[in-house]
Structure 1
Amino acid sequence: MKRPPSFGQGGDPDRPVVPPTEGGSAGDDASQFQPFPAETVDHLRAMAEVMITAGYETECIQVFLVARRNALDATMQSLGYEKASIDDVVKMSWEGLESEIGTWIKAFRHILNAGLSAEHDLCVRLFVGRNAGLGRDIFADLARCAMLQMFNFTEAVAMTKRAAEKLFKVLDMYEAIRDGAPVVDGLISTNKAEGGENSSGAEALADLKSELASVRSRLGESAAAIFCDLESSIRADAGKQPVPGGAVHPLTRYLMNYLKYACEYKNTLEQVFREFHRPDAVDSPGHEGESNPFAAQLMEVMELLHGNLEAKSKLYKDLALSSIFLMNNGRYMLQKIRGSPEINAVVGEAWARKRSTDLRQYHKNYQRETWGRVLNVLRDDGGITSELRVSITAVVVPAYRSFLGRFAQHFTAGRQTEKYIKLSADDLEGIIEELFEGSAGSMSRRRN
């Protein structure tokens, strides 16, 4: 599954992308197709000709269509796909629906690329001569019914509540529908080449093409809306408590990984956004002269995230910690961009350079709020050191003079005084004067 964890859920948001496992390509499905045995086809052809000649054409068509629809249903069931009503799909949990979407994609590709080819081959071999036109119409109706049954599922998925984690599965379905368009065009061309241009079969195939375009449009609109909803998710994540220690915010981790995965669908999302271009969208930075609404929308999300983090940094009372928060989150964003060629190609080097400049400014702010104070104390201009000497002398020396005045009378003048009173008030004042010089004399006095 190509998807990150959903908003507000646990799990490791830095986990690697797991490769898709939907199965083989269209060519692989087609290569596994085995024609119906000749004896079986000959027997069925003889039965059909007898029924049609006897005036039971309608009954022949109905029986054949029911049998082939049942066969296609059995094929889908063997691939794990079970028909479900729109109500059932809408009520499914996302975990269940996600699995169903994977099964639907596998079944859809198989039926479109292999199943319908087999049915067309059977109709061409079974209805020949004057009945050839009847065979073309039967196949066209069968193809339309089979595909409409599968389109009901996509309509239901498009009707479910939008959520960020659904984007990648919706895009997988969109790609399957998009890649199926040339197959339908091929069926129409074949029908026309076989002389069925104005038949009921041509109408059925035209309806199928129209339904295919409609379903693709619904899925494209849903994908574009889900991606645009990221803006609302960011604005709603106000947060009242700062992340402890100025660490990378969970929103930053989630969004950067989400955008990284989204850019793996870069070509598809560019196609989706060009088809459903918002009128107020603008060209993205770094793509001058080229309209790229997906890149513009992604850049809008990135700018909103940047603004959100700036606002969250103000939750810290400690300005230094605020700068650390911005540095950690900014560095994480740059690492994700430069570590992913897909997202780096969309964002562009200009944006990365701008964020690098921001990081340097955050670093300067942190340095100013923390180590700048230390550097001011250690600088050699003497301004602060003179101030410290005066303030300490004004407090300590008068107190020492008072102390000597109170206790000097208890000592006998002469040797006893010298024994217990080592420093006079003038000596103490001299020591304080030398305290911040680091001279040998002051250090010697302190040791004594």
Structure 2
Amino acid sequence: MPRKGMRSCLYPSSKTSSYSISHHPSSPRSVPMTPRHTFSESTMEENVQIAQSIITKWDRDTSSYAKVTSLFLENRKEAKDFLKSVKDLQRAMHFYVSDNPNSEKLVRAQNLMQIAMKRLEKEFYQILSTNRDHLDPESVSGRSSHLSARSSTSDYEDDVEFEEEIQIANDSISEVEQASTLAMSDLKSIADCMISSGYGKECVKIYKIIRKSIVDEGLYRLGVERLSSSQIHKMDWEVLELKIKNWLNAARIAMKTLFSGERILCDHVFSASDSIRESCFSEISKEGAIHLFEFAEYVAKSKKSPVKMSRILDIYDTISNLWPEIESVFSLESTSVVRSQALSSLTKLGDAVRTMLSDFQSSIQKDSSKSLVSGGGIHPLTRYVMNYISLLADYSGIISDIVGEWSMPEQSPLPESYFESPNFDDSMTSTISVRLAWLILVLLCKLDGKADLYKDVSLSYLFLANNLQYVVAKVRTSNLRFLIGEDWILKHDAKVKQYASNYERMGWSKVFSSLPENPTAVISSEAVKDCLKRFNSAFEQVYRKQTSWVVTDEKLRDEIRVSISKKLEPAYRTFYDKCRVTLRGDKNIEVFVRFTPEDLGNHLSDMFYGTGVSGSLSSSHSSSSRSRGSRSV
């Protein structure tokens, strides 16, 4: 620093100079020296001489040894003495200013101070540069508890405390941690010394350049890219999803280690000055942190799509969980813009979630597809909606925070019969639970409409049974179970059974009615033949038609088969045995008695796979055996 600058630091106003000159004339004979004055002056001269000996030893311009050697690395005791000599030199300069601002002694002390500051500037740079690995933010944030809590004033002249701090570091932490702790201690001592000597700007400039490069490099290694909103908007979802996954990990590491470690280091090194500490951390970290959280806002503003819901909720959850760290690390006024950016991102993400939820409900209600699912199987809308609602259930806590009071429509488009679901107790169930149950009801209403598209009433009931069974299974095997509850599951399980019973009644009534009400009653052979004709025709018709139908859930499929079998096989077996007796001796008995009771069971076991059947049923027993064998392979 120029001499003029140094002088302005040492005596801030011209009044100080004039006061010193008028009370301390340059002629020593005008005012005789007091013993005390002589003692003070001699003490100051001794301080300057001691300072000169150690400072000139480490003068880079006059010593080849000093050029290639680090003071703090070579001799820590001498480094401590160097700092103490600077402190003593500073005291001497203040004395000379008050005694005689124009004295050669002050000029000499100023020159020494400049040499000392150049040396400390070099040492500060060397410690920062050579300890990049030891001072990485992750390491610093992980061992902040080992740092000594020093006051804002420098205490490097206290031999006992200085040595105790080093000893504590040596005893309690590893070799790598020792290097980090000692480097931080040295940086703090140098910063304290330079700031108190009026050379804070030089110290801060070095610190900002080196530490900002470390933060920027850390973000780069974490994969944090500086993408614009338009770039994200044009990005394919597969690419953007990968970047979001990387961002989720990067944001957690950046906040918990990179930025928090940098804040700890900055606060420690510049504890002597609040303004410098704030300025340094802000300049080093603010830009990178803003870019980090801007990404989240840009994603929220990109094209809304249901497939993006889980990732947007992940981003929202990550920022919400990191908010305590964001608030703590970026608590300074100069870094409030980072907090504002994080909050803005949360707001935009919340807006995006609300929009997608609204669009999702509308898409269910507006679905007008007339396409029929072959065999009455699971409708694509059922799979899509239930997978989506299951996803929402996984994020129920986050969604509750976002949507708040997610109110139900005042006028429902659903018929009154749909409100047979359990009444949710507001004191026990969250708003999100009620809302998710509502969305399922909207779906079930749509499925009712799609069931009406089937010309066969029994198939429409099978379609409803299949789809409701899928809905119930999805609720039972996901977090929806805990949100909607067992009561809902039990009631809708009963509804599935009701649909299956309606299917059975409508689909098999002709078969059941073709058999006599009392199979053991005495009837003529002609009546037996007529009854067999009706049964054969009805069973063949049902079998041929319904083998192309499907029941996707294995448990439901078995329950329907067992139910039909229990009603059909015992009655038919009794009638079959009677027919064999009644038509005994008839040459055409096999024309009328086409199915054995075992054949019925075999045919039933082939149904509800959606495979269909072709050709005659006369060899049904062997064909059904082959089909069962092929499925078991």
The normalised TM-score by structure 2 is 0.50
Going from structure 1 to structure 2, the CA distance change for 1:30 and 1:378 (only over 3 Å counts) comes to: farther
Q: Indicate whether 1:151 and 2:293 are aligned.
A: yes
Going from structure 1 to structure 2, the CA distance change for 1:238 and 1:317 (only over 3 Å counts) comes to: same
Q: Indicate whether 1:120 and 2:263 are aligned.
A: yes
What's 2:365 paired with?
235
- Worse-superposed segment, 111-120 or 227-236: 227-236
CA RMSD of aligned residues (A): 3.9
CA distance in 2, matches of 1:88, 1:48: 46
- Worse-superposed segment, 283-292 or 154-163: 283-292
CA distance in 1, matches of 2:254, 2:228: 20
What's 2:386 paired with?
256
CA-to-aligned-CA distance 1:402-424 (integer Å, 9 cap, x gap): xxxxxxxxxxxxxxxxxxxxxxx
What's 1:167 paired with?
309
What's 1:322 paired with?
460
CA-to-aligned-CA distance 1:288-346 (integer Å, 9 cap, x gap): 33573322331222112111211111221122221111111111111121223x11111
What's 1:310 paired with?
448
Superposition map of 1:327-366 within 5 A: 327-340=465-478, 342-366=479-503
CA distance in 1, matches of 2:251, 2:582: 93
Q: Indicate whether 1:272 and 2:410 are aligned.
A: no
Q: Indicate whether 1:96 and 2:239 are aligned.
A: yes
CA-to-aligned-CA distance 1:146-190 (integer Å, 9 cap, x gap): 3222121111011011111111111111111111111134347xx
- Worse-superposed segment, 47-56 or 373-382: 47-56
What's 1:9 paired with?
none
Q: Indicate whether 1:38 and 2:182 are aligned.
A: yes
Going from structure 1 to structure 2, the CA distance change for 1:101 and 1:52 (only over 3 Å counts) comes to: farther
Whether contact under 8 Å (1:284, 1:291) holds in the other structure is no
Tell me the amino acid that sits aligned with residue 84 of structure 1: L
Identical columns (%): 26
What's 1:209 paired with?
339
CA-to-aligned-CA distance 1:384-417 (integer Å, 9 cap, x gap): x99x97xx9xxxxxxxxxxxxxxxxxxxxxxxxx
* 3-state SS, counterpart of residue 505 of structure 2: helix
Whether contact under 8 Å (1:163, 1:226) holds in the other structure is yes
* 3-state SS, counterpart of residue 233 of structure 2: helix
Going from structure 1 to structure 2, the CA distance change for 1:294 and 1:331 (only over 3 Å counts) comes to: same
What's 1:375 paired with?
512
Tell me the amino acid that sits aligned with residue 346 of structure 2: R
Going from structure 1 to structure 2, the CA distance change for 1:233 and 1:63 (only over 3 Å counts) comes to: farther
Superposition map of 1:284-299 within 5 A: 285-289=423-427, 292-299=430-437
CA distance in 1, matches of 2:186, 2:579: 113
Whether contact under 8 Å (1:285, 1:296) holds in the other structure is no
* 3-state SS, counterpart of residue 388 of structure 2: helix
Which runs of no fewer than 5 residues in structure 1 stay unpaired?
Answer: 1-26, 192-201, 393-436
Deviation at 1:113, TM superposition (A): 0.8
Deviation at 1:73, TM superposition (A): 1.8
Whether contact under 8 Å (1:284, 1:292) holds in the other structure is no
CA distance in 2, matches of 1:208, 1:266: 28
CA distance in 2, matches of 1:284, 1:165: 31
Tell me the amino acid that sits aligned with residue 222 of structure 2: L
The normalised TM-score by structure 1 is 0.69
CA-to-aligned-CA distance 1:9-64 (integer Å, 9 cap, x gap): xxxxxxxxxxxxxxxxxx9995488684634773686479658955773x765664
Deviation at 1:133, TM superposition (A): 3.6
Larger radius of gyration: 2
Tell me the amino acid that sits aligned with residue 241 of structure 1: S
Deviation at 1:258, TM superposition (A): 2.6
Tell me the amino acid that sits aligned with residue 474 of structure 2: K
Tell me the amino acid that sits aligned with residue 156 of structure 1: Y
Whether contact under 8 Å (2:422, 2:488) holds in the other structure is no
What's 1:135 paired with?
277
Tell me the amino acid that sits aligned with residue 393 of structure 2: C
CA distance in 2, matches of 1:316, 1:29: 69
Going from structure 1 to structure 2, the CA distance change for 1:31 and 1:262 (only over 3 Å counts) comes to: farther
Which runs of no fewer than 5 residues in structure 2 stay unpaired?
Answer: 1-137, 145-176, 413-420, 531-577, 590-633
Deviation at 1:216, TM superposition (A): 1.5
Whether contact under 8 Å (1:286, 1:348) holds in the other structure is no
- Worse-superposed segment, 162-171 or 359-368: 359-368
Going from structure 1 to structure 2, the CA distance change for 1:178 and 1:29 (only over 3 Å counts) comes to: farther
> Which of 196, 200, 219 is the matching residue for 2:349?
219
Higher relative contact order (CA 8 A, sep 6+): 1
What's 2:249 paired with?
106
* 3-state SS, counterpart of residue 370 of structure 1: helix
CA distance in 2, matches of 1:330, 1:285: 20
